C-alpha cells in the first residue's frame, strides 16, 4: 500500500509550489508517485473545478458548492487516488477533505457534522497518512495570492475564493487550526511565511520520516 499525503493551506501559502518541489525531490529518489489536486485530478473534476473557481456570474449556494466539491472528490478518490495507492505509489494531493471543513464549514458556516458525513461518503473514509498545513497570516497570504492572480493573463483567473473578504479567510484559517488541534498526529504545521527553499527543506524532512516509517512497516 502506498502513502497518501495531503497539502493544505490558506490562500497564498505557497503549497502548490511546494507540492511540485516535493514531487521533484521524491522522483530524484526514484520513489513512484503522483501529484494531483482537488477539485480536479479527473476529467469530471476539472470541469467542476472550472464551475467552482473561475470568475463567473454563476450563483452557487453554499450547500450546492459543498456537494460539487464532494462530487469531484468521489470521482477523484475512486478513479485516481485509490488505484495509485494500491499500486504502491506516494500520492501528493493539493487539498482534500480538510479544505471542505475549513472553507465550507468554517468559512461558509455550513454544519460541521454534515460536512464530516459528506466527506466520509465522498472519500469512502479514505484518510491521509500525513497532512502538511502551510500556515501564513491571512493578510500576508492574500497579498501573495492577489499578486499572483494579477499576473494571469492567458487563462481565466481561479479567484472565486480569493475574492471573499478577509473575515472569510480568517475563519478558514481558524478552521484549519481547529483541525490540527483535533488530530495532531496526522498534521504537521509549516510556517509558510518563510522563503521557498527553507520551507522546502522542512517539507523534505517530513516526507523522509513518513517514507521511513512506511518502509519499516514492511
Asked whether position 103 contacts ligand TYD by CB under 6 A, the answer is yes
- 36 contacts ligand TYD (rule: CB under 6 A): no
Answer yes or no whether residue 69 interacts with ligand TYD by CB under 6 A: yes
Residue closer to ligand TYD by CB (options 65, 89) is 65
Nearer to ligand TYD, 11 or 135 (CB): 11
Task: Identify residues 41-60 at the interface with ligand TYD (CB under 6 A).
Answer: 53
Distances (CA, A) of 162 to 26, 35, 169, 203: 31, 23, 8, 25
Q: Is the peptide bond before 39 cis (omega within 30 degrees of 0)?
A: yes
Q: How far is the C-alpha of 206 from the C-alpha of 212, rounded, in Å?
A: 10
| Residues within window 116-135 making contact with ligand TYD, judged by CB under 6 A | none
Window contacting ligand TYD (CB under 6 A); options: 24-32, 55-63, 91-99, 183-191: 91-99
Cβ–Cβ < 8 Å for 18, 195: no
Nearer to ligand TYD, 104 or 131 (CB): 104
Q: How far is the CB of 212 from ligand TYD (least distance, A)?
A: 28
Instruction: Write down the least CB distance from residue 151 to ligand TYD, Å.
Output: 13
Q: Which stretches of the chain bind ligand TYD, using CB under 6 A?
A: 11, 16, 37-39, 53, 69, 94-95, 99-100, 103-104, 161
Amino acid at each position: 500500500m502506498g502513502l497518501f499525503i495531503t497539502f493544505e493551506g490558506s490562500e497564498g501559502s505557497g503549497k502548490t509550489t511546494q507540492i511540485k518541489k516535493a514531487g521533484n525531490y521524491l522522483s530524484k529518489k526514484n520513489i513512484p508517485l503522483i501529484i494531483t489536486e482537488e477539485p480536479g485530478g479527473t476529467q469530471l473534476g476539472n470541469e467542476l473545478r472550472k464551475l467552482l473557481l473561475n470568475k463567473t456570474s454563476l450563483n452557487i449556494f453554499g450547500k450546492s458548492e459543498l456537494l460539487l466539491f464532494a462530487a469531484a472528490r468521489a470521482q477523484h478518490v475512486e478513479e485516481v487516488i485509490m488505484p495509485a495507492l494500491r499500486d504502491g505509489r506516494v500520492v501528493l494531493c493539493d487539498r482534500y477533505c480538510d479544505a471542505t471543513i475549513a472553507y465550507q464549514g468554517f468559512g461558509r458556516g455550513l454544519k460541521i457534522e454534515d460536512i464530516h458525513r459528506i466527506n466520509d461518503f465522498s472519500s469512502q473514509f479514505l484518510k491521509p497518512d500525513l497532512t502538511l498545513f502551510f500556515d501564513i497570516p491571512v493578510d500576508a497570504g492574500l497579498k501573495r495570492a492577489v499578486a499572483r492572480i494579477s499576473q494571469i493573463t492567458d487563462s481565466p483567473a481561479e479567484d472565486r475564493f480569493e475574492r471573499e473578504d478577509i473575515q472569510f479567510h480568517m475563519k478558514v484559517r481558524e478552521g484549519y487550526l481547529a483541525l490540527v488541534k483535533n488530530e495532531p498526529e496526522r498534521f504537521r504545521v509549516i510556517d509558510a511565511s518563510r522563503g521557498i527553499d527553507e520551507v522546502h527543506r522542512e517539507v523534505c524532512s517530513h516526507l523522509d520520516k513518513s517514507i521511513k516509517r512506511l518502509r519499516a512497516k514492511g
